[in-house]
């Protein structure tokens, strides 16, 4: 099946925005797209879930939240505290395979790559390996991210899972020195290309603006038109205004 797995170097790095951006561009290209959230935790009544955000921004309505647990914890931990059995990774993977007739299935993980999804220690990396799907790693922009990217990429490599590339999940309007120099170094640390840097505040855009933002800030491998070049980044920093928050 044609699937991409989106994982993060940790929580709150922008996985859902990147998932929505990939889905929006695939939909705009005329593809049939499904989006899967493997496990959602910690959503209060009335809050938007990750799949709600993806649907609102991308316009994709073929969305699937496979598991939900009440507390904002690792899925296996949240299931245990809720007094239920965590859904095994093999069952999650089987659910994703049911969508194999779509042109693209975008699978969003929960937390980082090796967070336990079930009581046997199954992870997002196991899902990607079972699906034979490449992984997009979403990372923070600032100081410390290179080490987290390298560890995630190494874990994928040890498991025989291809890292498609890295996306900075939220690029600030006024990046600092570490953020700017990280753009030069990410490919070496990940042994995979830098595939984009959506701007901070993208979650507040309307669907048309979001799709255009995705096109401008994701690489062709993900359906966009962005290519990293240091000179272009300098011009972009001067020309762009901050996205709405």
Active-site residue set: 37
Q: Which residues lie closer than 8 Å to 182 by C-beta, 6 or more apart? A: 141, 142, 145, 146, 168
Q: How far apart are CA 32 and CA 100, in angstroms?
A: 11
What is the full DSSP assignment across 19-51? HHHHHHHHHHTT--EEEEES-EE-PPTTPPPHH
Q: How far apart are CA 219 and CA 71, in angstroms?
A: 35
Q: Yes or no: say if 19 and 113 are a contact pair by the CB < 8 Å rule.
A: no
Q: Yes or no: say if 152 and 183 are a contact pair by the CB < 8 Å rule.
A: no
């Amino acid at each position: 099946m044609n699937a991409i797995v989106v994982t993060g170097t940790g929580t709150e790095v922008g996985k859902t925005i990147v998932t929505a951006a990939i889905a929006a561009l695939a939909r705009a290209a005329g593809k049939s797209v499904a989006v899967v959230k493997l496990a959602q935790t910690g959503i209060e009544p009335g809050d938007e879930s990750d799949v709600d955000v993806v649907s609102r921004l991308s316009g994709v309505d073929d969305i699937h939240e496979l598991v939900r647990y009440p507390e904002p914890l690792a899925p296996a931990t949240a299931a245990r505290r809720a007094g239920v059995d965590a859904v095994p990774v093999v069952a999650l993977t089987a659910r994703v395979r049911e969508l194999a007739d779509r042109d693209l299935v975008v699978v969003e993980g929960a937390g980082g790559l090796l967070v336990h999804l079930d009581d046997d220690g199954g992870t997002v990396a196991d899902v990607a390996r079972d699906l034979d799907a490449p992984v997009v790693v979403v990372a923070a922009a600032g100081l410390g991210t290179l080490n987290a990217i390298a560890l995630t990429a190494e874990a994928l490599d040890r498991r025989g899972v291809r890292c498609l590339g890295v996306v900075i999940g939220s690029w600030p309007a006024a990046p600092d020195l570490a953020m700017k120099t990280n753009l030069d170094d990410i490919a070496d640390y990940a042994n995979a290309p830098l595939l984009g840097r959506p701007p901070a505040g993208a979650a507040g855009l309307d669907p048309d603006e979001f799709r255009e933002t995705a096109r401008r800030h994701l690489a062709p491998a993900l359906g966009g038109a962005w290519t990293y070049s240091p000179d272009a980044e300098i011009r972009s920093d001067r020309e762009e205004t901050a996205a709405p928050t």
